[in-house]
């Protein structure tokens, strides 16, 4: 019972954004992976094409500097500035380690051709859901995690289930932050 309470408390803290999921994982270099996009620069505005005001397709992403021993990758995109707390826009995991980029417009289906799995977002569906802030300028973090194993989750996962499954298996991570404000 005590271990269930600890797991629940950890999941709650992570959902609220109060934990560092690297924690005591294997990677010493927490931000070892460089992640970029040809669609927008770090800390700049995300083009409307990749938002609810445009085509609502995922932006292209590229990465480098994966730690040795990486077996799979996971990507989580979220908005910590959402009014009700962090809002999850994308959950993708079991991406093969030999993949170093995702083209724009990743199909919105659970299993991708390369074996990666997309989980549920806070939109209540599988696949990418673009920025759509109700007001003001929000920050959107595209986070990548290098893992030493394939994530074993029954059914598709949401962010909290993926974070718990990744614990103890993160070799390195990186993030790309872009911003968006709706043009009304």
d(CA 111, CA 124): 17
Return the domain boundaries, the chain.
22-180
Q: Would you say 175 and 142 are in contact if contact means Cβ atoms under 8 Å apart?
A: yes
Q: Tokens for 40?
A: 């927008």
- pLDDT tens for each residue of the chain, 184 residues long: 444 443 444 444 444 444 444 444 454 545 689 999 999 999 999 999 999 999 999 999 999 999 999 999 999 999 999 999 999 999 999 999 999 999 999 999 999 999 999 999 999 999 999 999 999 999 999 999 999 999 998 777 999 999 999 999 999 999 999 999 998 7
57 within 8 A of 50, measured Cβ to Cβ: yes
- Full-model pTM: 0.85
Which CATH superfamily is 22-180 part of? Answer: PEBP-like (3.90.280.10)
- How far is residue 148's CA from residue 128's CA, in Å, rounded to a whole number? 24
């Amino acid at each position: 019972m005590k271990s269930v309470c600890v797991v629940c408390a950890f999941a709650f803290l992570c959902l609220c954004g109060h934990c560092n999921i690297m924690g005591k994982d294997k990677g010493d270099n927490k931000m070892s992976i460089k992640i970029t996009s040809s669609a927008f620069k770090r800390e700049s505005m995300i083009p409307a094409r990749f938002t609810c005001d445009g085509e609502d397709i995922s932006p292209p992403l590229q990465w480098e500097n994966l730690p040795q021993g990486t077996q799979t990758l996971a990507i989580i995109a979220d908005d910590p500035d959402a009014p009700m707390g962090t809002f999850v826009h994308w959950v993708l995991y079991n991406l093969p380690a030999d993949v170093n980029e995702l083209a724009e417009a990743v199909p919105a289906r659970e299993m991708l051709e390369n074996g990666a799995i997309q989980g549920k977002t806070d939109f209540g569906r599988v696949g990418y859901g673009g920025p759509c802030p109700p007001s003001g300028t929000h920050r959107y973090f595209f986070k990548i995690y290098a893992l030493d194993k394939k994530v074993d989750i029954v059914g598709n996962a949401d962010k909290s289930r993926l974070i718990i499954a990744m614990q103890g298996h993160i070799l390195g991570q990186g993030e790309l932050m872009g911003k968006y404000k709706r043009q009304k």
